[in-house]
Amino acid sequence: MIKVAIVGATGIVGQQAIVSLHNHPWFAVTKLAASERSAGKTYAQALQGADGASRWWCPEELPAEIGQMMVENAAEFDPESVDLIFSTVDTNIAKELEPKWAKTTPVISTASAFRYEADTPILVGGVNMEHTSLLAVQQRNRGWKGFIAPKSNCTISGLVVSLKPILTHFGVKRVVMTSLQAMSGAGRTPGLSAMDMMENVIPYIPGEEPKVESEPLKILGTLTGEGIKDAAFGITATCTRVPVLDGHLVAAFVETEKACTPEEVKAAMLDFGRDFCQLGLPSSPDRLIKVTDDPFRPQPRMDRDCGGGMTVTVGRIRKDPILPNGVKYVCLAHNTKLGAAKGAVQTAEYLVKHYLQWL
């Protein structure tokens, strides 16, 4: 078994990583780490709030053996004590600690700290696996035995999966999008207040729109050898927070290069990702995109767990009446599964098999 650590294990994404790695056929969680607040406690103790209630968040039970494990201080964590690190800490902590770990050990990160570095790919399962070769450039540039492979921002995880087949078949000129983002996307440190969120929509998420407007262009860009040339289209976004627990919904309006019908877009989406799914990675779903014809779907509660939370559900594909060659649709992705922890585990599975060649 490949020994893995989850650093940031007590947070929302860290907890989802525990669930995603439970009974994993290749990976065994042998280390947990978080801030010094949690260090020196068992994992179950570290999750207890001041009122004594557990802050375990996932609907799945906390595995008993994980609850008993001691949590280490991330700042003192020995990266050589494991084979692979899942980093689910806040970005400012990631910026400081991940390069120290990457000197010796591969790091798969859900933080944004390294996403915008020229020698660092943002890998999204089935969308841009050819960008993996940039990790060798990163290792060479920085003299690291390991590497840092960041996941994308959770809001765009459904958007880039749905855009890729449109880009491939019809070309993309511009994208206008509005997100309706779940509360779990804000994390637990400090987390959102129920008083703010109940019966409400918050029309602004600090720092989100610049990420959403730039990351897809890198992810859908072309590998040039030493870097990535961004895809040549623009995205404009409004990001909002809604009172949903999990599952980010995006309303997308896409102007394509070539004219296309909603039926052709649907066919391209349904056909997308077969080869990647056939790799048989343990965390991959049967299909990357499900298209629904029900105009009342996708809905977060009903569709976020499609494909174990790893399939993007697209609905309401229709012609846009204003944009030239315009098509519009709604897509939904599970933000802490596809958009974070389980997506990170899937990236690790791909890298272990196709880059590190450990299996």
Ligand X SMILES: NC(=O)c1ccc[n+]([C@@H]2O[C@H](COP(=O)([O-])OP(=O)(O)OC[C@H]3O[C@@H](n4cnc5c(N)ncnc54)[C@H](OP(=O)(O)O)[C@@H]3O)[C@@H](O)[C@H]2O)c1
Catalytic residue among 131, 169, 239, 248: 248
| Nearest residue to 159 via CA among 135, 175, 141, 140 | 175
CA count, 13 A, side-chain hemisphere, 91:
12
- 8 versus 298: smaller Cβ distance to ligand X: 8
Please tell me whether residue 8 binds ligand X under the rule CB under 6 A.
yes
Residues 122 to 161 in contact with ligand X, rule: CB under 6 A: 154
Spatial separation of the C-alpha atoms in residues 80 and 67, rounded to whole Å: 23
When the beta carbons of 35 and 179 are compared against ligand X, the nearer one is: 35
Number of neighbouring beta carbons within 10 Å of residue 315: 21
How far are the Cα atoms of 81, 332, 339 from residue 32, in angstroms, in the given order?
11, 31, 21
In the sheet with 289-292, reading across from the earlier edge strand, the strands are 234-241, 172-181, 248-256, 326-333, 312-319, 289-292
Q: Which stretch binds ligand X (CB under 6 A): 7-15, 20-28, 114-122, 282-290?
A: 7-15
Q: For this structure, is 169 an active site residue?
A: no
Min dist. Cβ of residue 113 to ligand X (A): 8
Contact region with ligand X (CB under 6 A), list: 8-16, 166-174, 211-219, 348-356: 8-16
Which one of residues 111, 163, 219, 235 is an interface residue with ligand X (CB under 6 A)? Answer: 111
- Give the DSSP per-residue string, 82-117: SSEEEE-S-HHHHHHHHHHHHTTS-EEE-SSTTTT-
How many other CB atoms sit within 10 Å of the CB of residue 49?
9
Of the candidates 89, 85, 78, the one whose C-alpha atom is nearest the C-alpha of residue 38 is 89
Q: What is the CA radius of gyration of the chain?
A: 20
Binder of ligand X out of 91, 139, 178, 238 (CB under 6 A) = 91
Of the residues 154, 239, 277, 306, only one is catalytic, namely 154
Shortest distance in whole angstroms from residue 65 CB to ligand X:
19
User: Cβ of residue 90: shortest distance to ligand X, in angstroms?
Assistant: 5
Q: Which of 27, 31, 69, 110 binds ligand X (CB under 6 A)?
A: 110
Binding track, positions 58-87, relative to ligand X; x by CB under 6 A:
----------------x-------------
Omega prior to 150 cis, within 30 of 0: no
**Residue nearest to ligand X as judged by C-beta position:** 11
Please identify, among the stretches 187-195, 206-214, 222-230, 235-243, the one whose residues bind ligand X according to the rule CB under 6 A: 187-195
Residue 150 CB, nearest approach to ligand X (Å): 9
User: Catalytic site residue 260?
Assistant: no
Could you tell me which of 29, 28, 33, 38 has the C-alpha nearest to residue 8?
33
**Which of 12, 21, 167, 314 touches ligand X by CB under 6 A?**
12
**Single-letter code of the amino acid located at 288:** L
Residue 250 interacts with ligand X (CB under 6 A): yes or no? no
Please report, as ranges, the residues that interact with ligand X according to CB under 6 A: 8-14, 34-35, 37-38, 74, 88-91, 93, 110-111, 154, 184-185, 187-189, 335-336, 339-340
